[in-house]
Amino acid sequence: QSALTQPASVSGSPGQSITISCTGTSSGVGNYNLVSWYQQHPGKAPKLIIYEVTKRPSGVSNRFSGSKSGNTASLTISGLQAEDEADYYCTSYVPPNTLIFGGGTRLAVL
């Protein structure tokens, strides 16, 4: 299966909101609410920030939110902070029994 499609980079200023898109297929993103988002700082392991499209793990800031429309999922970060500068990856379940990652998006906080 091909990777999910994400923009290579996005940027925003402190306090602003940004949205990162993640486009898949009707058999994956479009048919299952099993999209997750991960934040990865340089040299660190990824961290789960959104799962099952809209759910936030305990301890994750409510500035992070997820949504989905058709074959495209989105991650929105509101009130951008310098610490949000990182790489962001989406994943989706694709049958049968496969997990695929997006190519990743680098967020720059200007």
Partner 1 sequence: QLQLQESGPGLVKPSETLSLTCIVSGGSISSMNYWWGCIRQPPGKGLEWIGSVYNSGTAYYNPSLKSRVTISVDTSKNQFSLKLNSVTATDTAVYYCARQIGGGSWSLDHWGQGTLVTVSS
Binding stretches for partner 1 (CB under 8 A): 1, 3, 34, 36, 38, 40, 45-48, 51-52, 57, 89, 91-93, 97-104
Shorter beta-carbon distance to partner 1: residue 15 or 99:
99
Nearer to partner 1, 10 or 79 (CB): 10
Kindly state the smallest distance separating residue 18's Cβ from partner 1, in Å.
Answer: 19
C-alpha span between 15 and 6 (Å, rounded): 23
CB 107 within 8 A of CB 18: yes
